[in-house]
């Protein structure tokens, strides 16, 4: 098949969604498909909406010699009206790849109401869906009802961390402060402020935190958190490593003892699977798809969004009970081993696309 993928910017952008897009394309090419990347420039939401009136974009998409076009749902403002014209004039089906719906992000309710209406119109304009989780499928069905689609979990095998059961047990029992790690861009949705508030109620000798992720996406938020840490006298307890290449993250996961990202919503959270692969218990929230990987009390804990008291309680429990920390780490690694590879995910997505193309 000749598959088009429509994105904003570069496929090399360092986020979980772009990692998914990049590795899916690599696997589909390995299976024999031809991939064409169609890129639109990053602009603000209003400027993206104006793309629906772009004759150049319409012409590019109408003339593209494709069998199927995958659209990253992030691009929905550029396509919400254009797709309705396009569907009647092209022979290939339109498929939306769902990583995260914009209206689920933390912002004033009136703004998210508007984004929800636009996303509903966009989602109704495509022929099928690729979901990164069952939770993403649930959200889409809540907006437009059941539609053809496939759940394609991000694969487990792009970041291989050298751990073994013996290493997991030995690491858990190493004395001293509990070594915590947060991996994610420092944006409000991912809840680093909640983690820092929870840690502020614990004695400093009980924990050390490593933060890996871009400080540039929401710079005011990131600066506020860094200043907060300094004002609380915790500068020696928190390491800010900034954005790192994916392969440079593995040694930090291997050295940590507990992974925490209390996201206010996560469509999947590839980093949760990366942490499980390192044999780390995961402390996450019930908002989003973390529960599809984390069994609370078995290989980590799930707390309600914004419940800092629960975060504090679980961190303190695992600091004092290293046997439990070790058991949870082993359970985390067993869960990781059951997860599909990128090849298996690509095979399932390819079969769905093939059926959609030949039923069109």
Parallel/antiparallel/unpaired status of strands 2-8 and 68-72? parallel
Which range among 10-14, 165-169, 255-259, 319-323 shows the weakest confidence by mean pLDDT? 10-14
- This prediction's pTM: 0.88
Task: Tell me: do 313 and 203 sit in the same domain.
Answer: yes
- 58 and 188 assigned to the same domain: no
pLDDT recorded at residue 345:
97
- What's the pLDDT at 215? 96
CATH number at residue 326: 3.40.50.2000
**Which residues share a beta bridge with 302?**
284
pLDDT at site 66: 97
pLDDT at 106: 79
Same domain membership, residue 128 and residue 59: yes
Structure tokens belonging to residue 297: 């009390």
Specify the pLDDT at position 357. Answer: 93
Evaluate whether residue 290 is within a structural domain. Answer: yes
Q: Residues 209, 214, 279, 265: is their CA dihedral positive or negative?
A: positive
User: Could you read off the pLDDT of 281-303 as tens digits, one per residue?
Assistant: 999 999 999 999 999 999 999 99
Q: What is the mean pLDDT of residues 82-89?
A: 92
Q: pLDDT grade, residue 157 (50/70/90)?
A: confident
Q: Do residues 334 and 351 share a domain? A: no
pLDDT average, residue stretch 89-94: 94
Contacts of 133 (CB under 8 A, 6+ apart): 151, 153, 267, 268, 288, 289, 292
Query: How many Cβ atoms from other residues are within 10 Å of residue 42's Cβ?
Result: 11
- Span 8-23, mean pLDDT? 90
Which pLDDT belongs to residue 360? 67
The mean pLDDT of 129-150, rounded to a whole number, is 95
159 or 146, which is more confident: 146
Residue 258 has pLDDT above 70, yes or no: yes
Q: What is the pLDDT of residues 173-183, one digit of tens each?
A: 999 999 999 99
- Where in the sequence is the domain holding 78, given as residue range(s)? 2-155+341-359
The domain tally of the chain equals: 2
Q: Is the pLDDT of residue 159 over 90?
A: no
315 falls within a domain: yes
What is the reported pLDDT for 161? 78
Reported confidence tier of residue 342, pLDDT bands at 50, 70, 90: very high
Q: Does position 52 have pLDDT exceeding 80, yes or no?
A: yes
Residue 160 lies in a domain: no
Average predicted confidence (pLDDT) for the chain? 94
* Same-domain pairing of 127 and 176: no
């Amino acid at each position: 098949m000749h598959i088009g993928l429509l994105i904003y910017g570069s496929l090399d952008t360092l986020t979980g969604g772009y990692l998914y897009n990049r590795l899916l394309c690599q696997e589909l090419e390995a299976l024999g498909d031809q991939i064409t990347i169609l890129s639109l420039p990053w602009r603000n939401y209003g400027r993206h909406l104006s793309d629906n009136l772009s004759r150049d974009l319409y012409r590019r998409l109408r003339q593209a010699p494709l069998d199927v076009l995958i659209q990253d749902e992030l691009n929905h403002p550029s396509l919400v009206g254009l797709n309705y014209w396009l569907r009647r004039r092209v022979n290939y089906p339109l498929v939306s790849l769902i990583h995260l719906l914009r209206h689920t992000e933390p912002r004033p309710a009136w703004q998210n109401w508007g984004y929800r209406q636009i996303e509903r119109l966009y989602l109704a304009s495509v022929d099928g869906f690729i979901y990164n989780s069952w939770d993403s499928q649930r959200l889409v069905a809540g907006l437009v009802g059941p539609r053809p689609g496939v759940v394609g979990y991000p694969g487990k095998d792009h970041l291989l961390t050298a751990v073994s059961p013996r290493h997991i047990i030995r690491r858990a029992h190493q004395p001293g402060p509990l070594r915590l790690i947060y991996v994610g861009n420092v944006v409000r949705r991912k809840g680093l402020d909640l983690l820092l508030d929870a840690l502020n109620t614990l004695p400093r000798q009980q924990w050390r935190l490593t933060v890996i992720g871009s400080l540039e996406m929401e710079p005011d938020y990131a600066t506020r958190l860094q200043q907060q840490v300094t004002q609380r006298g915790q500068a020696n307890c928190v390491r800010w490593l900034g954005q790192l290449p994916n392969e440079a993250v593995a040694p930090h996961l291997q050295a940590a003892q507990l992974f925490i990202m209390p996201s206010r919503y996560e469509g999947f959270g590839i980093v949760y699977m990366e942490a499980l692969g390192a044999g780390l218990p995961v402390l996450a929230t019930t908002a989003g798809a973390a529960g599809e990987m984390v069994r609370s009390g078995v290989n980590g804990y799930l707390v309600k969004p914004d419940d800092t008291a629960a975060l504090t309680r679980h961190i303190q429990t695992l600091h004092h009970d290293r046997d439990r920390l070790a058991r949870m780490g082993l359970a985390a690694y067993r869960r990781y081993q059951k997860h599909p590879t990128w090849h298996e995910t690509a095979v399932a997505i390819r079969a769905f696309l093939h059926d959609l193309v030949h039923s069109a």
